[in-house]
Structure 1
């Protein structure tokens, strides 16, 4: 983990996401104000991107959503990597089984 940066419960924020969160005034404070699970959801959403352009858009949207007061990424069904709870049926079908 990067010292002094608040990560998620399962995922660690990449350097590009960390840089974006440190770039704007107050954005890092909003990030740090999230619960570890909330941070984890944003990180998982960014990490799930298959293409660099999608990842960059999600990083930018993360900053925008934090500034809008959001606590979780919009339209994201949730992290499937958590070990403290089983994935829901929708998560299993769409994100894991890719149906």
Structure 2
């Protein structure tokens, strides 16, 4: 029986991310120990990639950051898809307004 895979509060991890994390029990344990919001931030950051190459690089970086003890992705402003919290001014300017233009 396969262990349940924990997702984020808004986002669900794609099959590629799940496979990469399941491939290493230590990394999977670190992932499962994150808060739902922490997992959500990593998933949102990965899903924000425009190209498959960037997505793959972010999945690799997620693995590295988990092993480094990080709880959120480095240099990520935060998920703009959450409904429990309005985006901050920086998120609005950089992540939302930039996509409109």
Q: Given the two structures, how large is their TM-score scaled by the length of structure 1? A: 0.95
CA apart distance, 1:24: 1.4
Q: Which residue of 1 aligns with 2:34?
A: 34
Q: Which runs of 4+ in 1 moved over 2 A?
A: none
Gapped runs of 5+ residues in structure 1? none
Q: Which residue of 1 aligns with 2:66?
A: 66
Q: Which residue of 2 aligns with 1:53?
A: 53
CA distance in 1, matches of 2:25, 2:10: 27
Q: Given the two structures, how large is their TM-score scaled by the length of structure 2? A: 0.93
CA distance in 1, matches of 2:26, 2:36: 18
CA distance in 1, matches of 2:76, 2:61: 12
When the two chains are superposed, the root-mean-square deviation of aligned CA atoms in Å is 1.1
SS at match of 2:25: coil
